[in-house]
Amino acid sequence: MTGTAFTPRVFSGIQPSGGLTLGNYLGALKRFVDMQDADTHECVFCVVDLHAITVWQNPEDLTRQTREIAAAFLAAGIDPAKAILFNQSQAPEHAQLGWLFSCIARMGWMRRMTQWKDKAGKNSEEASLGLFAYPALMAADILVHHATHVPVGDDQKQHLELTRDVAAKFNHDYGVDFFPITEPVIGGPAARVMSLRDGTKKMSKSDPSDMSRINLSDDADAIAQKFRKARTDPEPLPDSYEGLKDRPEARNLVDILAALQDRTPEDVMSEVAGQGWGQFKPHLAEVAVETMGPITAEMNRLLADPAEIDRILADGAERASAIAAPILARTFDIMGMVRRA
């Protein structure tokens, strides 16, 4: 189809629905910073508060968590001079395009989403309508900025496919070449950081067991203890990465070390082959503390001045709207809405 050249632009978002985990850091934040620093794309990053309220959020907690996620972006290295950082509800174009897209997307598309099935569970009649429509809003987040690339963890792959379907259907139905078909950017050893208690489940801020995850707010002792108690099999580390194929818990710890050190897992294995857990785990904990410690400290420093965080978010929202408003206006025109002169 496409003849249109789109400005290379990255968009990604994180929900302020709790504290961040090592999975969020390695699978998302750290990669956002790498993309910002590569200087090949405009970067737009969003604290997606409108997504968080698809499940109940206590208002005070939502306010605090929004500032915490913003502080985490900044502490990890997002620079408001280079990238846009804002919270979703301050740029109304997101919710507006979200509505238009809920008229493009089909019920059947939404029903197939595994995140919907997992989160709604057996009680789907009691789930909010927003939780069901969530992927239409996510498509709007991305497409209201005409984003060409979206870095996310593996769990978001299906939502990005739906985003491409929404763009293609809109373009087809209205006979235009207006929305880009966005490329997901997923990969590397940290695309799916697994729980420390169960190598078949992803590390998640909503897991009932705090021992299953490393939180960005954990101190050095907690990090060391959680890695020490992380579930593994009794075998020592094999000679090659290939040897970890059927050992999900062991592979996860090697992947985490690789991602923390910006190395390939194969390279890590060449150093740790044959080690027992009594040697490997304290080393992993030490590397994690070295990487995360300064980020946690910087986050806490920033959180001592919430007014400054709010100022950065407000400035970001203004810049985000400057991109989004003309794209939304053009969408209304394409759909035939009569507009104020």
Residues that bind ligand AMP (CB under 6 A): 14-15, 23-24, 27-28, 152-153, 155-156, 190-193, 202-203
Query: Which alpha helices (H) appear in 178-303, and where do they start and end?
Result: 220-228, 248-261, 265-272, 277-303
Give which of ligand AMP, ligand TRP, none residue 23 binds (C-beta under 5 to 8 Å, depending on kind).
Answer: ligand AMP
User: Among residues 21 and 171, whose Cβ is nearest to ligand TRP?
Assistant: 21
Q: Look at residue 43 and give its three-state secondary structure.
A: strand
Interface residue with ligand TRP among 141, 218, 249, 255 (CB under 6 A) is 141
Tokens, residue 175? 């006979």
- Kindly give, in sequence order, each residue whose CB lies less than 8 Å from that of residue 253, ignoring residues fewer than 6 positions away: 227, 230, 232, 280, 281, 284
- Give me the half-sphere count of Cα atoms (radius 13 Å) on the Cβ side of residue 231: 14
User: Among residues 111 and 228, whose Cβ is nearest to ligand TRP?
Assistant: 111
Known catalytic residue at 119: yes
CA neighbor of 142 nearest in space, from 88, 74, 204, 73: 88
Under the binding rule (CB under 6 A), the answer on residue 131 touching ligand TRP is: no
CB 44 within 8 A of CB 94: no
Known catalytic residue at 229: no
Binding residues for ligand TRP, rule CB under 6 A, total 13
Distance between terminal CA atoms of the chain? 33
Under the binding rule (CB under 6 A), the answer on residue 156 touching ligand TRP is: yes
User: Among residues 48 and 309, whose Cβ is nearest to ligand TRP?
Assistant: 48
CB of 55 to ligand TRP, least distance (A): 11
Give which of ligand AMP, ligand TRP, none residue 197 binds (C-beta under 5 to 8 Å, depending on kind).
Answer: none
User: Among residues 73 and 170, whose Cβ is nearest to ligand AMP?
Assistant: 73
User: Among residues 112 and 192, whose Cβ is nearest to ligand AMP?
Assistant: 192
Catalytic residue among 30, 202, 226, 281: 202
CB of 24 to ligand TRP, least distance (A): 8
Give which of ligand AMP, ligand TRP, none residue 31 binds (C-beta under 5 to 8 Å, depending on kind).
Answer: none
CB of 186 to ligand AMP, least distance (A): 8
- 324 vs 141: CA distance, rounded Å: 9
Between strands 84-87 and 42-47, the pairing is parallel
The one-letter code for the residue type at 298 is: E
Known catalytic residue at 202: yes
Mask of contacts with ligand TRP, 44-63, x by CB under 6 A?
----x--x------------
Q: Which helix (H) or strand (E) holds 113?
A: none
Phi-psi region of 304 (alpha: psi -120 to 50; beta: other; left: phi over 0): alpha
CA neighbor of 29 nearest in space, from 291, 272, 271: 291
Interacting residue ranges for ligand TRP, rule: CB under 6 A? 11-13, 15, 48, 51, 138, 141-142, 150, 152, 156, 159
Catalytic residue ranges: 119, 202, 205
